[in-house]
Structure 1
Amino acid sequence: MSMDSSKQTMNEETENKDVELDEETVEEETCLEESVDLQNDEEGEVNEPSKSLDELEAKISELKDQLLRTVADSENLRKRLEREKEQTRKFGIANFAKDLLSIADNLRRALDAAPNKEDVEDQAIENLVLGIQMTEQELQKAFDNNNIRKIDPLGEKFDYNFHQAMFEVEETDKEPGIVVQVLQPGYVIDDRILRPAMVGVAAAKGGKKSVSVDTTA
């Protein structure tokens, strides 16, 4: 074999080795890139569920908050309706009860003006008085059944919530502000005023006696 042929063969072998090395390098780089891509994909897959879980928990928390608000609103509405129902039950007859007060007043005036039983000689008059008494008693029972109570504050301290002062009276033996005369009793239904009691009040010492300036309830 000639010298030139040997050199050519060596050059070809060297080139083949270089090609093989280049191919190995390319394969290694490709494997490395694939490994990096795979790692990134795995990290992405790990991060993605974590992100989705956080979003899901936030949504659940939001829905819980909305549910609690809805339940609270429903409970408040139920309580308000119950209060309104109770108010209607208590005070729904207030206007009707006011109309009955004048009847109660007239029955009492009739009995106050009626003669005593022992002074009555006419049986018809006695029966009439008895009928008025029974009517007043029945009306009072109806008032009691509906929590309607009379206010008769004679001797009590004046209370502007339930009393209407019509005049002042100079009373040396009474403290100022004490009710010394009841012109017309008042009425309440439960704790709500139907009509204030019209009263005369003891004046302060040295005060002037004042005549009624307001005769309307």
Structure 2
Amino acid sequence: MTDETTSHDTPADEAPQATAEAHATANGGSDERVAKLEAEVGSLKDQLLRALAEAENIRRRAEREREDTAKYAVSKFAKELLAVADNLRRAVEAVPAETREADQAVNNLLTGVEATERQLLAAFDRGGIQKMEALDKPADPNFHQIMAEIEGTGKAPGTVVQVYQPGYTIHGRLLREAMVVVAKGGEAPKVDTSA
């Protein structure tokens, strides 16, 4: 019986060769598996970097929106206060200079109105609200509402020649358009350059 079992067994010199082949096959399989795992790690790393970049973009966008909200949250309130500034200016301009000089009580009252106007404008300035200067500048439909056109002003067409109501911006963004009158189209006045 021992002879039979020996004839079916692998000879001793063939055993190391079979083990080497099995090891090579196993290594080939593990190299392939390592390559797959490295590819998966690379893909996951790419996804992670993209997710981190997206999270950073969302954070920046939220920060910008928070800053904008803080800057422009008072816009409606500020717009309502512009009417107060307009009325204070109208009160000062409604009294002729002669009346102001002749009546000390009127002069004192107007001095108080002017002081109130200055305080309001200083508060506007601290809040980022600026009055736009429109007079003698080209009309801009983004900032000016043209109420009328006047001929014979001697100014280039489209130049603001009168301001009915001043315009304001808040942190550089339009708060209220200026209501203006502009020089009517036609030929721009010629400037004499010979002198």
Same fold (TM over 0.5): yes
Residue of structure 2 equivalent to 1:181: 162
Q: 1:128 aligns with which of 99, 103, 109?
A: 109
Structure 1 unaligned spans of 5+: 1-21, 207-217
Q: 1:46 to 1:113 in 2, by over 3 A?
A: same
Q: 1:41-98, CA deviations, whole angstroms, 9 ceiling, x for partnerless residues? A: 1212221321221122122212211220121011101110111022112211111110
TM-score, normalised to structure 1's length?
Answer: 0.75
Residue of structure 2 equivalent to 1:211: none
Could you tell me which amino acid in structure 1 is paired with residue 23 of structure 2? E
* Pairing of 1:1-217 with structure 2 (within 5 A): 26=7, 30-31=10-11, 34=15, 37-116=18-97, 119-171=100-152, 173-205=154-186
8 A contact 2:161–2:183 mirrored in 1 = yes
Sequence identity percentage: 46
Cα shift at 1:105: 0.4
Could you tell me which amino acid in structure 2 is paired with residue 30 of structure 1? T
User: Aligned partners of 2:38, 2:7: CA distance in 1, in Å?
Assistant: 46
Secondary structure in 2 matching 1:106: helix
User: Aligned partners of 1:144, 1:35: CA distance in 2, in Å?
Assistant: 91
User: Aligned partners of 2:100, 2:21: CA distance in 1, in Å?
Assistant: 118
8 A contact 2:99–2:106 mirrored in 1 = no
User: Aligned partners of 1:188, 1:134: CA distance in 2, in Å?
Assistant: 22
Secondary structure in 2 matching 1:87: helix
8 A contact 2:130–2:170 mirrored in 1 = yes
Secondary structure in 2 matching 1:182: strand
Cα shift at 1:121: 4.3
Q: Which has the larger radius of gyration?
A: 1
Task: Tell me the number of residue pairs that the alignment of Structure 1 and Structure 2 aligns.
Answer: 183
8 A contact 1:172–1:205 mirrored in 2 = no
8 A contact 1:117–1:126 mirrored in 2 = no
Structure 2 unaligned spans of 5+: 188-195
TM-score, normalised to structure 2's length?
Answer: 0.83
Q: 1:91-134, CA deviations, whole angstroms, 9 ceiling, x for partnerless residues? A: 11111110001000000000001243884444432221111011
